[in-house]
Amino acid sequence: MSDTNKKAFITGITGQDGAYLAQLLLSKGYEVYGMVRRSSTAEVVDVRLKWLNIVDKIHLVDGDLTDLSSLIRIMQDVQPDEVYNLAAQSFVKTSWQQPILTGQVTGMGATHILEAIRLVKPDSRYYQASTSEMFGLIQESYQKESTPFYPRSPYAAAKLYAHWMTINYRESFDMYACSGILFNHESPLRGLEFVTRKVTDAAVRIKLGLQTELRLGNIDAKRDWGHAKDYVRAMWLMLQQDKPDDFVIATGRTTTVRDMCHIAFEHLGLNAQDYIVIDPQFFRPAEVEVLLGDPAKAKAALGWEAKISLEAMICEMVDADMQRLQ
Ligand code: NDP
Ligand code: GDP
């Protein structure tokens, strides 16, 4: 089947990755369906899709990952060739405040959608949005597919359950189900609560005189940061192979939060050191100190590699925040 005839169903389409993935699939000729949960402020729900100017090209359908009946109904109505499960309570810090909800959405939600696929259209191809947070307290200096997991938050534990359920459905029911273990990826569409976007937004506010300082937690933490646009391409590639498999998606370079701040502030001619205030409210009950991925398998099997550098991405984010705030 050519991509032109394919239907994709994306959960989490209103999030960062959902928006970029929808844009990619539309450019390949897919018919794209995205699940949206009910909100009392409908006008902010599709803000990312509007930013990318694609909202009118997508079929938005009502549903919720915690509501199996809505997923079964969508699967029956849409009959998708590919299902991308990107919906989650995705913010690590919130997962300590809402551990049960995080388990229900981020963990059990994946089983709901796997069940809906198995019951309605078991030949749909399935992508599960797994995360480098599953490596947590890292057991190897470069984390790859075979590295043992050590989750350090309710979010990571919920994602690990969803990861193993994906593998279990593949092995039990012969479903084409893949788990993409993606390291942190950012963009101008990243949520403001995540550290990169918090920093780029604050740098611009400081430059414009709207803010005087930037309060952060552990700035010695290191992350392997890539660009969401590169990473959604990997999701799609995983569903185009002869056999389903799991892949680490990363850049292979790690940087401290401190150095990432310097990139953002320097782009505006400022020195980050002059504005950062360490605030214990942003420390976490258990920290993931360092993440560094080895994407060799993805390069060999999918021909995938990250194209956009951390510097280019942070500057793009700063410029986008400047455009928004000016
Ligand atoms: P976002 O937080 O930007 O988006 C999360 C999406 O999930 C939103 O569309 C949100 O909808 C939706 N959602 C939340 N709860 C429910 C629910 N109960 N039912 C239906 N939809 C729901 O995440 P990202 O786009 O950054 O990430 C996409 C996926 O990849 C997530 O699963 C995340 O955990 C995972 N991931 C992300 C990484 C990253 O660095 N970005 C790294 C590795 C994995 P609403 O808009 O209504 O809130
Ligand atoms: P995560 O890797 O999914 O938790 O992504 P985040 O962007 O939320 O956090 C990345 C790292 O930045 C973590 O180690 C955080 O502890 C660290 N960090 C330091 N200060 C902050 C802050 O103010 N906000 C956030 N979100 N993270 C911070």
Q: Which of 155, 195, 200 to mutate to test the pocket of ligand 2 (most atoms within 8 A of CB)?
A: 195
Q: Whose CA is nearest to atom 35 of ligand 1?
A: 129
Instruction: From first to last of the 326 residues of the chain, give the pLDDT tens digit.
Output: 667 789 999 999 999 999 999 999 999 999 999 999 988 887 778 999 999 999 999 999 999 999 999 999 999 999 999 999 999 999 999 999 999 999 999 999 999 999 999 999 999 999 999 999 999 999 999 999 999 999 999 999 999 999 999 999 999 999 999 999 999 999 999 999 999 999 999 999 999 999 999 999 999 999 999 999 999 999 999 999 999 999 999 999 999 999 999 999 999 999 999 999 999 999 999 999 999 999 999 999 999 999 999 999 999 999 999 999 99
How far away, in angstroms, is 124 Cα from ligand 1 center? 21
Task: Name the token pair of 73.
Answer: 């109904």
Contacts of residue 67, Cβ cutoff 8 Å, sequence gap at least 6: 112
Range(s) of the chain covered by CATH 3.40.50.720: 3-185+225-249
pLDDT at 315: 98
Task: Determine contact, residues 54/48, Cβ cutoff 8 Å.
Answer: no
Residues with C-beta less than 6 Å from any ligand 1 atom? 11-12, 14-18, 35, 37, 64-66, 86-90, 105, 129, 131, 182, 184-185, 191
Instruction: State the catalytic residues.
Output: 131, 133, 155
How far away, in angstroms, is 60 Cα from ligand 2 center? 31
Rg (CA), the chain: 19
Superfamily designation of domain 3-185+225-249: NAD(P)-binding Rossmann-like Domain (3.40.50.720)
Range list of H helices, the chain: 16-27, 42-45, 47-51, 68-78, 94-97, 99-102, 109-120, 154-173, 195-207, 228-238, 257-266, 296-302, 310-325
pLDDT at 40: 85
Provide the whole-model pTM. Answer: 0.98
Q: Whose CA is nearest to atom 26 of ligand 1?
A: 16
* Fold category of 191-223+254-290+308-325 in CATH: UDP-galactose 4-epimerase; domain 1 (3.90.25)
pLDDT at 152: 98
- C-alpha to C-alpha distance for 200 and 221, rounded to whole angstroms: 17
Q: CB 38: neighbour CB atoms within 10 A?
A: 9
SS3 317: helix
Range(s) of the chain covered by CATH 3.90.25.10: 191-223+254-290+308-325
How far away, in angstroms, is 15 Cα from ligand 1 center? 5
